[in-house]
């Protein structure tokens, strides 16, 4: 295993814990593993399908990537990112991805999803679709290097783990624990950037004041507040920041910050069961939204919509949301990434489609080095 998170490079596997199929005892086993390696740094790779161990759900869609439901690793060594970069050679790469949905198919599905909102089955959901390519990549780190330069995303991850390579430029934090405080930073609301500074500022203002974008962000904030309340100390759930627009290298995003305090006896698994999957990738009501997306999405989400992160020996942890992420299965030479967005009653299918292309743009460019 070789994994880069932030400026650290984690290499080798001292021990690991893998769940490849649904297991009713997964959380007890996970807590036993965490307790066994309490004084060690641990890396977590959590697939969206862990939801099936939390709620009465299932996932039966096609999946060429086949990432485990859960992989927790105790790395042998922690070095600096530069130590890994020096090992890699340059390689010219050109990958042509194909989306699983045509624009016509996408628009048709969004209209069907919106019919459920009209009937009151859900208020908001996150609909995703897959892009795929079939080719051999000898040096996938080159894709990550390009993607990192295009996005400068704060929660990027590069990992060579088992038969998979993860190339992630995630801008979103799922959940962070520092002492007795939990912090979640859901993203809902996206805008392209402009090289013209005046136009770029207008795009920021337009996003910040867009009623539809604010409504979808606020709905997810309410969901996160509800999820946090399952583990929070009484009256400690706080919205620290609501609908603030942050600018990244290639995109503007609307982000809110919700926090709470927890008792020191609350375990990692209890937090996961309360919050996972994250509200920004599911919808409201959460379970019904996940059920409907299982019906309308063509592919299993796998690691996409899951989380990757680190737990320190003191029990503090930081997990991202796996979005803007390419995954390469070395066993079958399949590369895949997914894009999606929030759908509400005010969503315009054409505009939602354009937003998915904005999110895909950097991923596509990174694969042409």
Give the list of residues 6+ apart from residue 300 with CB closer than 8 angstroms, or none.
49, 59, 60, 61, 62, 63
Contact criterion met (CB below 8 Å) for 213 and 206: no
Q: What is the DSSP string of 1-19?
A: -EEEETTEEEEEEEEEEEE
Q: Encoding tokens for residue 62? A: 């096609």
β-pair partners for 114: none
Neighbours of 289 (CB within 10 A): 26
Catalytically active residues are 172, 188
The DSSP line for 137-196 is -S-THHHHHHHHHHH--TEEEEEEETTEEEEEEE--EEEEEETTEEEEE-EEEEEE--SS
- Rounded CA-CA distance 347/216 in Å is 10
Burial (CB count <10 Å: 0-12, 13-18, 19+), residue 10: buried
């Amino acid at each position: 295993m070789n994994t880069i998170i932030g400026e650290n490079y984690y290499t080798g596997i001292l021990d690991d814990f893998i769940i490849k199929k649904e297991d009713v005892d997964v959380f007890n086993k996970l807590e036993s593993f965490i307790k066994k390696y309490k004084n060690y740094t641990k890396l977590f790779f959590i697939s969206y399908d862990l939801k099936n161990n939390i709620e009465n759900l299932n996932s039966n869609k096609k999946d060429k990537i086949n990432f485990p439901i859960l992989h927790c690793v105790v790395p042998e060594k922690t070095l600096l990112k530069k130590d890994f970069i020096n090992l890699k050679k340059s390689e010219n790469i050109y990958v042509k991805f194909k989306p699983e949905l045509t624009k016509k198919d996408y628009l048709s599905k969004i209209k069907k999803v919106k019919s459920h909102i009209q009937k009151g089955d859900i208020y908001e959901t996150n609909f995703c679709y897959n892009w795929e390519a079939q080719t051999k990549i000898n040096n996938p780190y080159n894709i990550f290097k390009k993607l990192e330069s295009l996005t400068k995303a704060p929660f990027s991850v590069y990992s060579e783990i088992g038969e998979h390579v993860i190339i992630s430029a995630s801008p979103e934090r799922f959940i962070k624990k520092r002492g007795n405080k939990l912090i979640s930073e859901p993203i809902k609301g996206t805008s392209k950037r402009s090289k013209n500074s005046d136009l770029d500022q207008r795009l920021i203002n337009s996003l910040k004041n867009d009623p539809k974008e604010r409504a979808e962000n606020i709905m997810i904030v309410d969901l996160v507040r509800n999820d946090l309340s399952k583990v929070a100390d009484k009256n400690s759930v706080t919205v620290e920041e609501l609908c603030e627009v942050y600018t990244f290298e290639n995109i503007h995003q609307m982000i809110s910050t919700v926090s709470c305090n927890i008792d020191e006896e609350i375990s990692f698994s209890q937090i996961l069961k309360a919050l996972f999957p994250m509200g920004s990738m599911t919808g409201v009501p959460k379970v019904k939204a996940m059920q409907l997306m299982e019906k309308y999405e063509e592919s299993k989400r796998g690691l996409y919509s899951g989380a990757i992160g680190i737990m320190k020996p003191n029990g503090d942890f930081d997990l991202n949301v796996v979005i803007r992420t390419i995954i390469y299965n070395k066993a079958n030479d399949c590369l895949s990434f997914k894009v999606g967005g929030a759908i509400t009653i005010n969503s315009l299918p054409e505009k939602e489609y354009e937003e998915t292309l904005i999110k895909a743009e950097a991923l596509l460019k990174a694969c042409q080095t």
